[in-house]
Structure 1
Amino acid sequence: MTTKHIEQKLMLLPDLPGSYQMKDKNGKIIYVGKAKNLKNRVRSYFKSDHTGKTAQLVENIADFDFIVTSSEKESLLLEITLIQKYQPYYNIRLKRGTGYPYIKITNERDPQILLANEVTKDGAHYFGPYPNVYAAQETLHFLQKVYPLRRCNGYQGRPCLYANIGQCLGACYKEVPESEYAEQIKKIKRFLDGDTKEVRKMLQKKMATAAADMAYERAADLRDQIKFIEATVEKQQIISRDGTPRDIFNFYMDRGWLSVQVFFIRQSRLLKREKRLFAIIDSPEEELAQFILQFYNRRNSVLPKEILVPKGVDTQSIAAVLNIPVRTPQRGEKRSLLELAGKNAKIVLDEKFRLLAMNESKTTGAMQEIADALDIEKINVIEAFDHSHLQGADMVSAMVVFEDGVPNKNKYRKYKTKGVLHADERAETMEVIRRRYTRLLKEHGALPDLILMDGGVIQLNAAKEVIEDELGLSIPVAAMVKNEKHKTADLLKEEGADHVHLDPNSQGFYLLQRIQDEVHRFVITFHRQLHSKSSLGSRLDEIAGVGPKTRQKLLSNFGSMNKMAQASISDLQKLGISEKVANNIKISLAATQHHDD
């Protein structure tokens, strides 16, 4: 039976080409497929009756993922690559090798050009794979005629048949100079890398001549040959042509959340994709730069030869730390791959928001599932807390409220802690909980049915100490325990107690994840706003003639340095600022922006 989670994801699939990956309950990829239209193809698994191995596959699907490509052909090539990498249990046709041929130039004294079923580490040059097998065969025959290498078994003291008709350089009866092979191989590589202009021009001329001579069959053969060449050497975004191992990073930001896509290009193919979603404090470009540095530091893996990033990211700083080139492509294949990564990043974040919206409208029973798990009779109102700080300083907190499974944003609260100077989880939690519920008691406000802390044992114990010991309240308190991916996995009621598990496919589990995401987003957004204003305010304090009142006017009217820097002298004077001070502001902000750039 299809789970609610899969039902919701099916509704969000795009009408675009791509590759899809079916996963089992352990997150292991068990099948990889391709689609001209992802929505129609993936839905067909769950909306149609199946028999045999397909029915077994569907029974074992617990989740799925997908990567959008730019064409159906690219989705096929990506499918091939992912099957080779993950060796999914239910893929049979492409499990060994690719099922599609490569064109291979052998690594030997008298090299040959031939078809191969898979790539091996034999020093040969490989091109492909080519989904159109017949076109690849015809193109190979064409290359053997136009750029011959060796087509015989080697020296035999006399010319072979192919040498007699000009399709073998003659290793069968003479010693062929290595330079002659090298020149032919250079032409073949250029042709298979897409430089077919000269050859196509020659074929088109022959085709026109044959048509003029009324040799229509010959003209048709030449026309087909041109089509086979186009089908074989057509450039693909999924297959890089220069063979450079590179990683591609791009992002999409919305509503305080950053979606990052990482494409790993290896052996001229998109070998792997990783995706990340997280709330951010700084600008998306700054966050991406930090993410890249932490990404490689945490993975402790072999670095690529090149990293590609979007415009605005500090390429020099990343390159200096990692000691590899970091570039922003302006055009061509690399630019297209970067844009494709950005497109996938947007799709992932859009899917998250749409899933949240769908789950908010389907909360029947979710609150009760949480109540049952925690042995609480009934839950109508949940208040959740989270903290944020910047390298141990500027500690802030926030609270979100969910009523009957739906967020009530009118009741959200932000807290700038007063008595906590540095990142002290216990002190921060105690102050915020004390302020929140002392005020509710004083104002005779309604108390929640459950308090959730987005942290571990320290925050749980601190909150319970204030609620139970200081205020004498009996509100249940639990901590949302995260897994290694920083996502809510369980609940914790008491230090040392067993974790309270919820079914990962239940509405109660999804509600917990929504609460965690929402409180984290809210506190991070608040922190980002304070950090931005504080940073801008400190810069304004350094400008001659700008006092507290002028500073406040500027912050209230413009809000950001970019808007302030774009304002004219007259715009600044309208706020009651003298021309001299306005000039100082313009000069100082221009210099600051130039330094930042």
Structure 2
Amino acid sequence: MSAREDIKSTLSGLPDNPGVYQFFDSSGKIIYIGKAKNLKKRVSSYFSGNQSGKTTVMINKAVAIRHFVVDTESDALLLENNLIKKYQPRYNILLKDDKTFPWICIKNEVFPRVFSTRNVIRDGSHYFGPYTSGLMVKTLLTLIRQLYKLRTCNYNLTEQNIAAGKFKACLEYHIGNCKAPCIGLQTEQEYNETIVEIRDILKGNLLSVTGQLKGKMNLFARELRFEEAQMIKEKIDILMKFRSRSAVVSNTIKNIDVFACSQEADRFYVNYLKVVEGAVVQAFTLEMRTRLDEDKESLLGLAVAEIRQRYTSDSPEVIVPFKPDIQLDKVKYTVPRMGDKQKLLELAERNAIYYKLEQKRKQTEHKQVTRTGRNLEKVKNDLHMPALPAHIECFDNSNIMGTNPVAACVVFRNGLPSKKDYRHFNIKTVTGPDDFSSM
């Protein structure tokens, strides 16, 4: 049986259920992965004859099709997303890798450390992010260190090691930045209570943490423990000051996700705003590179699933400019036309457009640098130079019928014009049209 006959046989046996399908080439490599509400209709549509050039090329290379049946459209979307990440098929959408973005890690250990990292290790530690701004990571860690006294050492602080007296209090304890759990001056229960509050802060639940602290403050005040109550009040003031710097969008909007998009040729940009307790606590833009003629509804659906999975979002409402092609479980899509939600959507759209323009600018600069490098390489080879010419000066002379001779000098540094080094000369020591003497 030929490859085309085998595909026809597969098409006739496809079910009408939701699922994921894979196209394989002659070497057995997956070249495309897709999802479908109805596997039979979706996969058969590729062979209808009305396809774009890219899709036709992909179909011509396919020699086999496999599929997975799942229970819901949501399951199909998540499975497709995971398989694309794993196999990275040639004709699928490419998601910009976030491995270089920083995260905040709460280490899986006794007396957990809290620190920033770019390496996510699946060892049970709790990671928050990724953050597109290093400044945001620094700001959050500074806030946490103002509020709580956490250890920074990497000692193995087991109960047995502490009881055996294996450690000594370091400088951080003596300057008031740590309570020295290493020598038993802070209990694990007390330390873990602060970690619970830190998790809430990193999730954006500032009002929840503030409410808990106010409860502690009032309790200390009733018990006449005024110094401890004052310390709690100072923490509340720090939190409220930090919250006032956040973008408070509305007193009526609570926990929602906002997605807006912008497209440029084969690039699709989706901006995500995470709103918690009325404030924007997270912003991120995902860049997607399309390979086939995917419609904007399917691209947005994939982006929503991918970003919510990355940020472990469980917001019940998602604000979008149009309905994606997939319905996630326990999620309500809203396309606002006015009010605070519409303003949020416009904010996300401006962010997506700005990111798109910034990427175009970077691409233009990269092309210019590449072109400049090629030009310098050609000059080096043509003139048989031992190295690339980092500094170039070009002179030209001119005169009017042998009178008023002048010269100009233009300078290039690393292949780019250095206009601050340009010079103009009036030549007073040469008579007549003599370019050689003018030089």
* TM above 0.5: no
In the superposition, the TM-score normalised over structure 2's length comes to 0.32
Whose RCO is larger (CA < 8 A, sep 6+)?
A: 2
- Higher share in helix: 1
